[in-house]
């Protein structure tokens, strides 16, 4: 699991540094922080609705969208996924 998240994080970093016109991720970065944060709100709302509806498949998909967009926001703000994991680990000591 961690290896894939590291790989995905590297892809997100690359799309920020080397944007291409056909890249969804690069298009997110080009729209700016406000649009990125709006996406987080949209995806969080979809997670809530899927949870409320007890739709496991929809919830898995929406949770994946939320995590992906959160990773994009973190990259935009130069916060690494490792930094977030460090916080989680420190809370459980």
Q: For the domain made up of 2-84, give the CATH fold.
A: Helix Hairpins (1.10.287)
- What is the pTM (predicted TM-score) of this model? 0.92
What per-residue confidence (pLDDT) applies to 39? 96
Report residue 32 CA to chain centroid gap: 15
The 3-state secondary structure of the chain, one letter per residue: CHHHHHHHHHHHHHHHHCCCCCCHHHHHHHHCHHHHHHHHHHHHHHHHHHHHCCCHHHHHHHHHHHHHHHHHHHHHCCCCHHHHHHHHHHHCC
Average pLDDT in the 39-65 region? 97
What is the sign, positive or negative, of the torsion defined by CA atoms of 58, 28, 1, 84? negative
Average pLDDT over all residues of the chain:
95
**Could you state, in order of their start, the residue ranges of all structural domains in the chain?**
2-84
What per-residue confidence (pLDDT) applies to 1? 63
Query: Residue 58 and residue 38: Cα distance in Å, rounded?
Result: 20
């Amino acid at each position: 699991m961690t290896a894939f998240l590291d790989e995905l994080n590297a892809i997100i970093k690359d799309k920020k540094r080397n944007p291409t016109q056909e890249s969804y991720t690069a298009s997110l970065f080009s729209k700016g922080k406000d649009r990125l944060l709006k996406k987080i709100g949209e995806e969080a709302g979809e997670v809530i609705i899927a949870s409320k509806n007890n739709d496991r498949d929809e919830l898995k998909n929406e949770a994946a969208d939320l995590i992906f967009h959160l990773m994009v926001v973190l990259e935009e703000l130069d916060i690494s996924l490792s930094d977030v994991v460090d916080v989680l680990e420190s809370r459980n000591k």
